[in-house]
Amino acid sequence: MKISGKRVVVTGAASGIGKALSCAFNEAGAKSVVCVDINLEGAQATADLINGLAVRANVAKESDIINVIQKANEFSGGIDIFCSNAGIGGVPGFFEAKTEDWQQIWEINVQSHIHAAKHVLPQMLEREEGYLVNTSSAAGLLTQLGAAGYAVTKSAAVSFAEWIKITYGNKGIGVSCLCPQAVRTAMTAGGAGVAGVDGMLEPEVVADDVLKAIEAETFLVLPHKEVAEYIMRKGNDRDRWIAGMQRLQTQFEDFLMPGSEKE
């Protein structure tokens, strides 16, 4: 899909990848960009940079997503590209996470994508054109050592994006799933840990890769190119790959344990 002249919505737009995406779409000639975040002040700051519209939303709430789509329709007359980018790291570990912690990370990292697709796809299907960008993580393709909630929800996010592409890809709907490792955002301000093994990327680099993927209609967006090789290894011999990850788990055990001195 060509980006020039398109109407775009970006969630998580107050900072990090979301802010970089909003600016990149504007620079690429998008007709409009709606900047969405639970932090309205941050969303407004991003919108002010690009003459966009700021909308406050808790993406875990379906009613908030519906409101975002309504506001975007009023502002731009429709939505061509919806970037469901907002996400959280959640509570690390496994036993440390309470039931409500699992519910929260599930609602933000998975249900937000589902709500967006459910309510924006009808207008796209009617036009027989539209594009969804769902931000997951390399953790969704591999795993996240030391964080069960993050690993599980990011995997589900990849699976949902894939399902949408399979189901509606022949009806004019493009889908890209963003799966980076460490990116310099608020989430990695305290360090990226094991996820930073292949280096920390700037949000602007990631945003550029996303726009290229939309233009080429590429499903997986892998800013860290090493991830493609890891996926191949995992697919070729799952047991061998798991054994390797177990060794990495042991190597970083002290770092991964919540509350440890190295954390």
User: Phi, psi at residue 87, to the nearest 5°?
Assistant: -165, 165
Inter-axis angle of helices 99-106 and 148-168, nearest 10: 30
CA angle 25, 153, 248 (to 5 degrees): 105
Please give the Cα distance from 14 to 202 (Å, whole number).
Answer: 15
Catalytic residue positions, numbered: 150
Q: Is 196 exposed, middle or buried (0-12, 13-18, 19+ CB in 10 A)?
A: middle
Tokens of 214: 């939309």
